[in-house]
Amino acid sequence: MTVDRIPPHPARRRGRQPDEIHDIVGIGYGPSNLALAIALSESEAGRSVRARFVERQETFGWHRGMLLPRTTMQVSFLKDLATQRNARSEYSFVNYLTERGRLNEFINHQTFFPTRHEFHDYLEWAAARVDADVSYGTSVVDVDVVDDHFVVTVEGRDAGVLRTRNLVVANGLQARLPNDVQPSRRVFHNHQLLSRLRELPEPTRGRWAVIGAGQSAAEVVEYLHTTYPDAEVHAIFGKYGYSPSDDSPYANRIFDPAAVDDFHGAGPEVRARLMSYHRATNYSAVDLPLIEELYAREYAERVSGRRRLFVRGASRALDIVERGDGVDLRVRHDTSGRVENLRCDAVVCATGFAQMEVGDALGGLADRIVRDPSGPRVGRDYRLELCGDLPGAIYLQGGTEHSHGISASLLSNTAVRAGEIARSLVAGIEQGGAGWEGDERAAARPPRIAAGA
Ligand SMILES: Cc1cc2nc3c(=O)[nH]c(=O)nc-3n(C[C@H](O)[C@H](O)[C@H](O)COP(=O)(O)OP(=O)(O)OC[C@H]3O[C@@H](n4cnc5c(N)ncnc54)[C@H](O)[C@@H]3O)c2cc1C
């Protein structure tokens, strides 16, 4: 079935104009800014917004290095790019399934959690469908203010400068390696897993080490153990064992749109307490079926006497150094103090991500960010506070866990957040960009984006 699409606004059909001053430039075009482009395209007021997005990757891609077979989404497919904002959206996962001719098969599958491969295909489908002006293969390297607008310097395929009255920063998480680890060809973050494995020669000694106790770490262990059927896989982490992620219904409410209101309205102590209660919904936690699968594999090897999966809890990896065609490391068992030398083909650090650092994207404006002890000060509508006069607003999609709660870097709230930003942006543009209203007045006014934004 093909759904009739809303025609693009004349301003967008007109194509790119040299020296045009855009209403928004979006930094990064992952799911967050894709959801924003969709929210804008689904309303009359939004369609007249002159938006340009800048994306470093050559084509749309969502964490391609971790698109491992058998991995599934950690959020329900209903938390797609649009449904929670506009349940009638043509960009829903259900419409994607319909267009791909798989709706009935998906229903019979009886799951809320599609594979990451399928969700990636959905995101690519949505990116190809929405009428948005995206410069792929192009990176934002600096932002400054000149006269009445921001000037965004970009490098790559569409190198040059872009002029805009507003910015939406959605440049994603930053892969984090342990402090004492030097990245090298054979020592890398799991975010690059598939591309790095492709570049390595055939494993010589058939031994891998994976550091970390979170979902990605366990997925990498499962993948390497399955893909290299003669290789040893050593999982090394400080916890005594993998612990399960809490996706029970009451705990899941922490990802609801209403939880963002609660969190943003709370004081710093309450926010810190809520984060600490609910860390296990997202951090250092693994889906229970995967824990059980790994345990069953290790146990079967104990029975057969042919061990090649070694899950080493209460341990840490020390002195990881690439030498010749392998990596030397020492594994210290925390409780006994025993130390063992291991030589591996590669060491994968599944050691997590740091929140998006907005200062990295803003270059020359970074020192104007107003900061609280917990992080940059951000309004409920995701507007960043900066000192001095500015031509318009800077919105954040990500990097707001300290102000908006645990869903900040996840997909859980993407559709709703995109609608809230779109509404705030349109309200600001209608006032000529400058002289932004406070949140309360903006909230009191009837939203201008009617069709579900
Ligand atoms: C392996 C993995 C699996 C995940 N699975 C889930 C899940 O199941 N459920 C969930 O809720 N969350 C999940 N997440 C969390 C993840 O953050 C979100 O899924 C989602 O990617 C957030 O979208 P985003 O657009 O904010 O950031 P990203 O998807 O990271 O996109 C940011 C984009 O900005 C681009 N960029 C960065 N800097 C620049 C620059 N200077 N100039 C131009 N472009 C730039 C990047 O190339 C990137 O494409 C997962 C994360 C990982 C790493």
pLDDT at 440: 36
Q: In angstroms, what CA-CA distances link 124 with 64, 67, 129? A: 12, 14, 9
Q: Please indicate whether residue 409, judged by its CB atom, sits closer than 6 Å to ligand 1.
A: yes
Q: In angstroms, what CA-CA distances link 183 with 54, 172, 188, 346? A: 28, 20, 5, 11
3-state secondary structure of 450: coil
Residue 146 domain flag:
yes
**What's the CA-to-centroid distance between 63 and ligand 1, angstroms?**
7
Q: Are strands 134-135 and 51-54 parallel, antiparallel or unpaired?
A: parallel
Q: Please indicate whether residue 74, judged by its CB atom, sits closer than 6 Å to ligand 1.
A: yes
Tokens 């963002």 belong to 260
pLDDT at 12: 54
Residues 295 and 433 in one domain: no
Q: Please indicate whether residue 28, judged by its CB atom, sits closer than 6 Å to ligand 1.
A: yes
Residues 298 and 339 in one domain: yes
Between CA 223 and CA 232 the distance in angstroms is: 12
Query: Which residue's CA is the nearest one to ligand 1's atom 52?
Result: 63
Domain end call among 353, 377, 399:
353
CB 65 within 8 A of CB 192: yes
**What's the CA-to-centroid distance between 239 and ligand 1, angstroms?**
27
Residue 391 domain flag:
yes
Residues 187 and 327 in one domain: yes
Residues 365 and 434 in one domain: yes
Pick from 134, 137, 133, 142: nearest CA to 156: 137
Domain end call among 333, 353, 373:
353
- CATH number for the domain spanning 335: value is 3.50.50.60
pLDDT per position in the chain (453 positions), as tens? 333 455 554 445 457 887 899 999 999 999 999 999 999 999 999 999 999 999 999 999 999 999 999 999 999 999 999 999 999 999 999 999 999 999 999 999 999 999 999 999 999 999 999 999 999 999 999 999 998 999 999 999 999 999 999 999 999 999 999 989 999 999 999 999 999 999 998 877 799 999 999 999 999 999 999 999 999 999 999 999 999 999 999 999 999 999 999 999 999 999 999 999 998 898 999 999 999 999 999 999 999 999 999 999 999 999 999 999 999 999 999 999 999 999 999 999 999 999 878 888 898 899 999 999 999 999 999 999 999 888 999 999 999 999 999 999 999 999 999 999 999 999 988 876 543 333 333 343 333 333 343
Task: Name the residue range of residue 30's domain.
Answer: 11-173+355-443
Q: Please indicate whether residue 94, judged by its CB atom, sits closer than 6 Å to ligand 1.
A: no
Q: Give kind and range of the element (H or E) at residue 422.
A: helix 414-430
Residues 116 and 218 in one domain: no
Count of domains in the chain? 2
Residue 267 domain flag:
no
Residues 370 and 332 in one domain: no
Q: Kindly state the tokens that stand for 99.
A: 């267009």
Q: Tell which one of 63, 169, 407, 421 to mutate to probe ligand 1, the residue whose CB is within 8 A of the most ligand atoms.
A: 63
Q: Please indicate whether residue 117, judged by its CB atom, sits closer than 6 Å to ligand 1.
A: no
Burial category of 403 from C-beta neighbours within 10 Å (exposed 0-12, middle 13-18, buried 19 and up)? buried
Tokens 């209101």 belong to 261
Between CA 408 and CA 30 the distance in angstroms is: 14
Residue 6 domain flag:
no
Q: Please indicate whether residue 62, judged by its CB atom, sits closer than 6 Å to ligand 1.
A: yes
Residues 107 and 161 in one domain: yes
DSSP symbol at 91: T
**What's the CA-to-centroid distance between 152 and ligand 1, angstroms?**
21
Q: Kindly state the tokens that stand for 308.
A: 């090649």
**What's the CA-to-centroid distance between 339 and ligand 1, angstroms?**
37
Residues 58 and 120 in one domain: yes
Residues 207 and 311 in one domain: yes
Residue 252 domain flag:
no
User: Residue 441: how many CB atoms within 10 A of its CB?
Assistant: 10
Residues 432 and 291 in one domain: no
Residues 186 and 161 in one domain: no
Q: Where are the alpha helices (DSSP H) in 282-383?
A: 288-304, 358-362
Between CA 64 and CA 124 the distance in angstroms is: 12
Q: How does DSSP assign 356-380, residue by residue?
A: P-HHHHHGGGGGGB-EETTEE-B-T
Query: Which residue's CA is the nearest one to ligand 1's atom 1?
Result: 66
Query: Which residue's CA is the nearest one to ligand 1's atom 31?
Result: 30
Closest ligand 1 atom to residue 173 Cα is 30
Residues 187 and 322 in one domain: yes
Cα 95–chain centre separation: 23
Q: Give kind and range of the element (H or E) at residue 199.
A: helix 193-199
- If phi > 0 it is left, if psi is from -120 to 50 it is alpha, else beta; for residue 382 that is left
Residue 268 domain flag:
no
Phi, psi of 51 (to 5 degrees): -115, 140
Strand blocks (E) in 14-108: 21-27, 51-54
Closest ligand 1 atom to residue 407 Cα is 11
Closest ligand 1 atom to residue 75 Cα is 9
pLDDT at 433: 52
Residue 147 domain flag:
yes
Domain end call among 326, 353, 380:
353
pLDDT at 364: 83
Residue 433 domain flag:
yes
Q: End-to-end alpha-carbon separation of the chain, Å?
A: 24
CB 369 within 8 A of CB 356: no
